[in-house]
């Protein structure tokens, strides 16, 4: 992937800005507020890996994320190293299992 792209979605603008700033320290770029379901519907198996980020890691939410094609979940609050490790893992290729960070 020549210009890998990371989608940052958060309902809090300050959080979005923070994570976008962190991504500027990596070879990845950030993009807009697309809905994961639409991405998977449009791209199918060619869809990029999508990680969710939320303060809630309830089993029901995890099940729904997996059903919608998410490859992992980063729970907030999280440190810089956890966030960047999740991004690098997500961009690392095909994923066999859903992963929690």
| Model confidence band, residue 33 (pLDDT cutoffs 50, 70, 90) | very low
User: Above 90 in pLDDT, residue 68?
Assistant: no
| Fold classification of 5-100 (topology level) | Rossmann fold (3.40.50)
Three-state SS string over 19-35 comes to HHHHHCCCCCEEECCCC
pTM over 0.75: no
Residues 6 or more apart in contact with residue 34 via CB below 8 angstroms: 7, 9
Answer with the residue of higher pLDDT: 33 or 1: 1
Q: Is the dihedral of CA 92, 10, 75, 14 positive or negative?
A: positive
User: Above 90 in pLDDT, residue 44?
Assistant: no
Total residue length of the chain: 101
Answer with the residue of higher pLDDT: 5 or 63: 63
Per-domain residue ranges for the chain?
5-100
Q: Say whether 5 sits in a helix, a strand or coil.
A: strand
Residue 82: the pLDDT is 95
């Amino acid at each position: 992937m020549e210009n890998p792209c990371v989608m940052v979605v958060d309902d809090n603008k300050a959080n979005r800005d923070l994570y976008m700033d962190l991504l500027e320290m990596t070879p990845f770029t950030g993009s807009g507020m697309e809905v994961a379901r639409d991405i998977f519907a449009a791209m199918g198996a060619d869809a990029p890996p999508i990680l969710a980020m939320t303060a809630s890691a309830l089993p029901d939410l995890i099940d729904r994320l997996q059903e919608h094609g998410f490859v992992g979940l980063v729970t907030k609050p999280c440190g810089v190293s956890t966030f960047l490790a999740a991004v690098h893992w997500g961009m690392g290729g095909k994923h066999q299992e859903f992963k929690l960070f």
